[in-house]
Amino acid sequence: MTAMEIDTEKNIQRKHSTYQSLDKTFDIQNEIYRGQQYSQIYFARLHTMRTLLYSLVTHWKPSCPCLLMTFISVILEVSGNLEVMVVFRVLDFNGIGCEVYVVDRGHLYMVLVNFISGAFFKFFFSPICNGLGFCTVLGLEEGKECIIVGTLFKHMQLKPCVLDEYSKERSAVPLVKPHNFMHPDDHLVLEDESGRVKLGGTVLSPSTYVTGGVVALHGKETTAGDFLVLDVFEAGLAPQIEPQLKSREDKYVVFISGVSVGSSTSNPLQFQLLVDHITGHLGDEQEQGIAAEIVHVVFAGNSVEIPLGLLNGQNLASKDQSRVSEAVQVLDILLSQIAAGVSVDIMPGSNDPANFALPQQPLNRCLFPGSRTFNTFNSCTNPHCFELDGVRFLGTSGQNIDDLKKYSEARDELEFMERTLKWRHLAPTAPNTLGCYPFTDRDPFLIESCPHVYFVGNQDKYGTRILEGSEGQMVRLISIPKFCNTGLAVVLNLRNLECHTLSFGAQPSTLKTFNDA
């Protein structure tokens, strides 16, 4: 269906793109709460990240390659599917053997090769990296340098605790900054299955890290029982599949978040202007030509705001019932106008009628009786991952970054986003301070493949940057501002991943739309 209905002789066709949703990992289909515990998700997270970090740690402390590659064929012969990773050093206690490091199903083994006979003795799992041993927290020896991998826990004094209600001293110190719980005395603790150890030293600054991230640390145990950190290693950006960005035409993706239909701060005219612009009902032919290049629209959370005063648990009077559903009905009407012309994704946010814990499940289709008749309408999970013409998008409605803002500090939202990508985890503070479904078999927020575009909605201001990884990955980071406050929507060009904003104003004196690059 063309987006034009006005009197022109030639119709401008909208461009198409292939869309594929990758939200399967965020779906909670048949999971039933049977008493699952949050410790399970922490175990899944730690194990997956630890295996990954062990295999990556050679990039961190590289050693010189060994000369004994001839013996590798012997090893491969003897046990079929071992992959030889790298050979580290020659043992010289008896002068006739060497250590070879092999990876078998994600585990790193040290294998002793005897030169004379070619036979080998499989050693116990004792990974060694350039002379530094890995060990568990319980296996730390005082004064010996080693590498430990575990989950970080940040002990925060000002973090609200449910036990504060019961504390005898009722003269509580008032929080100076109720939206940020940092304190100079916060310290970090590293934890794995065997135990936990307090981290000391100046390399690791507690203000950068949050509870839930998995890192590798090089250091040694001190006499006081702390672990003195000498160096930190994060997993870094995940491997990225190359998008074919050449030979493309300009195709645009529009991101909006925080529309908040039904709230007192939102201006319905602004939203209507946006809808009209996307559907091509605004502007002259040139403007319509630009609008015809929009191939996808994403609503990144908080599309509706139901008046909170009505949701106090009491029975609703009939006039109040219509007020509750009004906002969603208006949203449905506007969404159907967009869905009639272009494919649209709607993600739930913190204020939307969806579940609270991450991953938020898609907004129920019965809320959108008008829009759901269009096959271009997709109700998606939060976080949302999809591919458009081979370009991979990953984004959330903002809860993960908002939580990071409360427990750590950074220059801007983009730096928080960069950290989540480097830690390879969308929401490291879940389930500690961010509501999360108690998965037992996996952690769905681990980022396995680096996206090309990473967006976060409902932020205070617009920001965008290209992040480059150590292996040539390139990610466009986008921080989408709240539409009800700023009137800004973000437009991304699929051809070169460049971003600009669309600003909609409804002031009588500035009634125009303009693109600013």
Q: Which residues bind another protein (CB under 8 A)?
A: 34-37, 39-40, 43-44, 47-48, 51, 105-107, 193-194, 438, 440-441
Select 29 or 202, whichever has its Cβ closest to another protein. Answer: 29
CA–CA dist 462, 477 (Å, integer): 11
CB of residue 49 to another protein, shortest distance in Å: 12
CA–CA dist 102, 76 (Å, integer): 10
- Written as one letter, the residue type at 484 is C
CB of residue 207 to another protein, shortest distance in Å: 30
Q: What is the DSSP string of 208-247?
A: T--TT-EEEEEEEE-TTS-EEEEEEE---SPP-PPP--SS
Select 114 or 440, whichever has its Cβ closest to another protein. Answer: 440
CA–CA dist 374, 366 (Å, integer): 13
Please report, for residues 30, 131, 377, 480, the alpha-carbon distance to residue 396 in angstroms, rounded to integers and kept in the order given: 23, 42, 18, 10
* Residue 60: its H or E element: helix 38-60
CB of residue 369 to another protein, shortest distance in Å: 39
**Cis omega (within 30 of 0) on the bond before 383?**
yes
Three-point CA angle 306, 398, 177, nearest 5°: 90
CB of residue 485 to another protein, shortest distance in Å: 42
Tokens of 237: 């950006």
Q: Is the Cβ–Cβ distance between 458 and 300 less than 8 Å?
A: yes
Q: Is the Cβ–Cβ distance between 19 and 420 less than 8 Å?
A: no
**Cis omega (within 30 of 0) on the bond before 359?**
yes
Select 35 or 95, whichever has its Cβ closest to another protein. Answer: 35
CB of residue 144 to another protein, shortest distance in Å: 17
Three-point CA angle 425, 427, 429, nearest 5°: 115
* Residue 78: its H or E element: helix 72-78
- Written as one letter, the residue type at 303 is S
Select 145 or 193, whichever has its Cβ closest to another protein. Answer: 193
φ/ψ of 186, rounded to 5, equals -65, 140
Tokens of 262: 């039904």
Select 47 or 248, whichever has its Cβ closest to another protein. Answer: 47
Greatest Cα-to-Cα distance within the chain, rounded to the nearest angstrom: 91
CB of residue 254 to another protein, shortest distance in Å: 39
Select 39 or 515, whichever has its Cβ closest to another protein. Answer: 39
Tokens of 231: 């160096």
CB of residue 34 to another protein, shortest distance in Å: 7
Three-point CA angle 216, 218, 220, nearest 5°: 130
CB of residue 40 to another protein, shortest distance in Å: 6
Select 103 or 474, whichever has its Cβ closest to another protein. Answer: 103
Select 51 or 325, whichever has its Cβ closest to another protein. Answer: 51
Select 36 or 513, whichever has its Cβ closest to another protein. Answer: 36
| Cα-Cα-Cα-Cα dihedral sign, residues 196, 201, 205, 207 | positive
Helix (H, G, I), strand (E, B) or coil at 202: coil
CB of residue 178 to another protein, shortest distance in Å: 33
CB of residue 124 to another protein, shortest distance in Å: 9
